[in-house]
């Protein structure tokens, strides 16, 4: 009978290798599960396979540019999603009513423009719930979707949104139209470079967005895309 003699050094190397393998497997398993939950709870883009793109306009300021945006959209028979904060809606109920009356979808941007990633579950829930109530009182319909200010969130934000039956929406194309260096050409370029089916385009009511809208619309229409709401891209 022959015996296999293994040195302590070899045993140490085998132990380290097994340890590394276990860590790698754990990381892989965790990452896989995290991605599943991530995709399930957050809509960065829609699920439709059709050539349709959603426009989302987050609103907490920029009143002077909303009506010009609405006129451009009306001329092209386009309906998009507006996500106002509750505090803005409280101060501008007539504009919210006009947006809704013209056939646009109203989403929830939270009550105030805070960093939701730093809020507790109760604080997140209060912000989202309060905005839902205000917007429902103004439009007669409770928002189906919630998009956090600046895209900031934590696990409590996700849970609060889900518990309040608001689907959690972010974006796949950011126009970054609020920044000082943004101009209409740059805004248009950002949309054109990432255009794809079910994309969600984030914008705000700014002067440069108003200037860029006609060119963006023309480009998308010429390439066979329809422009719509979040509901149009989420099956």
Indicate if the pLDDT at residue 168 is higher than 60: yes
Extents of the domains making up the chain = 9-43, 44-233
Residue 84 clears pLDDT 70, i.e. is over it: yes
**CATH number assigned to the domain with residue range 44-233, chosen from the 4 options 3.20.20.370, 3.30.70.20, 3.40.50.970, 3.90.1010.10:** 3.20.20.370
Please identify which residue in the block is written with the tokens 């386009």: 78
pLDDT above 90: percentage of residues in the chain: 82
For residue 174, the number of C-alpha atoms closer than 13 Å in the C-beta half-sphere is 9
> Three-class SS of residue 125?
helix
Task: Answer yes or no: is pLDDT of 221 > 90.
Answer: yes
Q: Using CA atoms, how far apart are residues 218 and 78, in angstroms rounded to an integer?
A: 12
- Evaluate whether 171 touches 200 at the Cβ level (below 8 Å): yes
With contact defined as beta carbons under 8 Å apart, do 107 and 147 qualify?
A: yes
Q: Read off φ and ψ for residue 64, nearest 5 degrees.
A: -65, -15
Is the pLDDT reported for residue 21 higher than 60? no
Contact by Cβ (8 Å): 76, 103: no
| Tens-digit pLDDT profile for residues 96-154 | 999 999 999 999 999 999 999 999 999 999 999 999 999 999 999 999 999 999 999 99
Task: Please determine, for residue 195, whether its predicted confidence score (pLDDT) is greater than 70.
Answer: yes
């Amino acid at each position: 009978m022959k015996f296999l003699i293994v040195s302590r050094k070899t045993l140490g190397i085998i132990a380290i290798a097994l340890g590394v393998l276990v860590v790698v497997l754990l990381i892989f398993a965790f990452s896989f599960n995290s991605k599943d939950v991530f995709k399930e709870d957050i809509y960065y883009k829609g699920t439709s396979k059709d050539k349709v793109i959603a426009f989302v306009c987050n609103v907490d300021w920029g009143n002077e540019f909303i009506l010009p945006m609405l006129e451009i959209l009306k001329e092209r028979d386009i309906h998009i999603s507006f996500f106002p904060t509750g505090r803005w809606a409280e101060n501008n109920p007539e504009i919210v009513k006009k947006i809704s009356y013209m056939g646009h979808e109203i989403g929830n941007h939270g009550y105030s423009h805070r960093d939701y990633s730093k809020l507790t579950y109760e604080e997140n829930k209060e912000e989202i719930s309060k905005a839902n109530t205000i917007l429902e009182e103004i439009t007669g319909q409770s928002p189906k979707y919630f998009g956090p200010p600046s895209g900031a969130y934590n696990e409590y934000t996700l849970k609060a949104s889900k518990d309040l039956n608001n689907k959690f929406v972010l974006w796949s194309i950011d126009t970054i139209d609020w920044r000082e260096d943004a101009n209409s050409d740059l805004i248009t370029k950002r949309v054109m470079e990432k255009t794809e089916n079910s994309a969600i385009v984030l914008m705000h009511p700014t002067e440069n967005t108003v200037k860029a809208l006609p060119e963006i619309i023309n480009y998308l229409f010429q390439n066979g895309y329809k422009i719509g709401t979040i509901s149009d891209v989420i099956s």
